[in-house]
Amino acid sequence: MCEEGEFQPNLVDQATGWSRRQFSALGGAAALAACTNGMGDAASADTTGDELIENTVTFQTADGTLDGFFVRPASGEHPGVIFWPDIAGLREAKRMMARRLAGQGYAVLVVNPYYRDVSGEQFADFAAFRESGGFQKVGPWREKLTAEAIMRDASAIVPWLDAQQGVDETQGIGTQGYCMGGPFTVWTAAAVPSRVEAAASFHGGGLVVEGDPMSPHNLLDRTPDTDYLFAIAQNDDEKDPNAKTLLREAADEAGVDAEVEVYGADHGWTVPDSPAYERVAAERAWSALTRLYDSALRD
C-alpha cells in the first residue's frame, strides 16, 4: 500500500537514469514515450492502426456526478475497460497509459476516484502530489471509497460504458487498478459479474484483509466468470508475505482463473511518474495485462 515515505523527490529511475523531477520536466507525453519501448508516442507503440478519439466525460451515479477521461479507437467497436488510478488520481500519466491501451483496441474510461469531493486533475504528477501534501489532501476523499461506494460506482459505470459509441457491449468488460485502485477491480467485478470478465491489480493495497467480509479475496466467489491478474510489489510482499497465498487459495476455492505473481520491483513500479517506476518490470506487467485482456475479452 502507498506510504508517504515512498514518494521522495529525487529518486533516480534505474532504467532511464533520470530523477523524478527530470522525468516530470519532460512533460507527460514525452516522458511516457521515453519509458515505453523507446518507440516514440506511447499510443503508437501498440496501435491497431486507428486514430484515437478522447474526451472528458461526466455522468450521474448514485453518489453524484462522476467525471473521467474516455479514449477509444476512432473506428470500430471494442471491449470496454474501467481504469482505476492510484492515490494521485487522474493525471497525464494515467491518460497516456489509457491511450496506449486504446491503441491496442480498447475503449478506456479512466475514472476520477475522488469525484465525490473534487472534479478533474488535482495533481500533475507524483512530484506535485508529494510537494503539495497529497496524502493529507486526499485523506478525507479516500475515506469515502469503501467497497460499497466503489460497487455503486461500478453499477453506474458499466451501463454508461456499454452505451458509448465505439464500445462492443457483446464483449466482456475489463478493469485495472493501481495502488488503492487494486481492490477496486475486484469490487467492480463483484458489482457487475455478468459484464466484467477480466480484472487486473498492480501493486494493489488491501486485497487481503482477514476478518473483513468485503475484503477482495473474500469476494472472488461472486465473480465466477472473471479472470484475474494480481501483480504484487516485492516490498508489499515483504510486509505481508501471506497475502499472495491467501489470494491463490481464495481463487482456487472460488474456481476462478487468477495469475498471482510477486514482481522484483517496488510499489508503484508500473506507473511512469512514480519514484519506483522500473521500465523493464513495467513492460512485463503490461504484457501480462495484454494477455489477460486478449484471452478474456475477445471472442
All structural domains of the chain: 4-297 (3.40.50.1820)
CA angle 193, 194, 200 (to 5 degrees): 45
Q: What span, in angstroms and rounded, lies between the C-alpha atoms of 98 and 80? A: 11
**Per-residue pLDDT reduced to its tens digit, 145-173:** 999 999 999 999 999 999 999 999 999 99
Q: pLDDT class for 299, splitting at 50, 70, 90?
A: confident
Q: List, in sequence order, every residue forming a beta bridge with 200; answer none if it has no partner.
A: 176, 229
Q: Torsion angle of alpha carbons 176, 14, 30, 98, nearest 10°?
A: 0
Would you put residue 69 in left (φ > 0), alpha (ψ -120 to 50) or beta?
A: beta
Q: Which residue has the higher pLDDT, 130 or 40?
A: 130
User: pTM of whole model > 0.95?
Assistant: no
Q: What percent of the chain has pLDDT over 90?
A: 83
Q: What percent of the chain has pLDDT over 70?
A: 83
pLDDT at 295 over 90: yes
Average pLDDT of span 83-112: 98
pLDDT at 21 over 60: no
pLDDT at 240 over 70: yes
Q: What span, in angstroms and rounded, lies between the C-alpha atoms of 188 and 178? A: 14
Q: What span, in angstroms and rounded, lies between the C-alpha atoms of 251 and 240? A: 18
